[in-house]
Amino acid sequence: MKKINLKEKFSLFKDYWNPKIIGVLNDQDIKIAKVKGEFVWHNHEKEDELFLIIKGLLKIEFNDKIVELNEGEMLIVPKGVEHKPVADKEVWLLLFEPSSTKHTGEVISELTVKKFENI
């Protein structure tokens, strides 16, 4: 059992759209990421995905709407729902998702991460 300091963990990397695993809870990865710009349209066929905003403003685009998330807010995207995260400025976020979740679902792009780093 070890205390995790989020600010310290975020200070360990500078790259965007490359989540880092900071813990595992009941087969769920707890990941942090810095994001900026646009991600890819994708979905996770079998897994829900939780976005918790630590710093900044994240927009998540859906086919029929855009949800804006501010610091301290979170959103659970249900499995199978196509979405695209967008950050005009740098955003720090925390993700909860099953360890089996593919970064960009079945979409392959230059942003796809196949193996997540533990920090």
pLDDT one digit per residue (tens) for the chain, 119 residues: 889 999 999 999 999 999 999 999 998 999 999 999 999 898 888 889 899 999 999 999 999 999 999 999 999 999 999 999 999 999 999 998 877 665 555 556 666 666 776 88
Q: How far apart are CA 89 and CA 53, in angstroms?
A: 13
Every domain of the chain and the residues it spans: 6-118
Question: What is the DSSP code (8-state) at residue 9?
Answer: H
Residue 75: is it exposed, middle or buried by C-beta count within 10 angstroms (0-12/13-18/19+)? middle
Domain 6-118 has CATH 3.40.50.2300: no
Residue 10: phi, psi to the nearest 5?
Answer: -65, -25
pTM for the whole structure: 0.85
Q: What are the distances in angstroms from CA 3 to CA 22, 86, 112, 118?
A: 11, 31, 30, 15
Cβ atoms 5, 101 nearer than 8 A: no
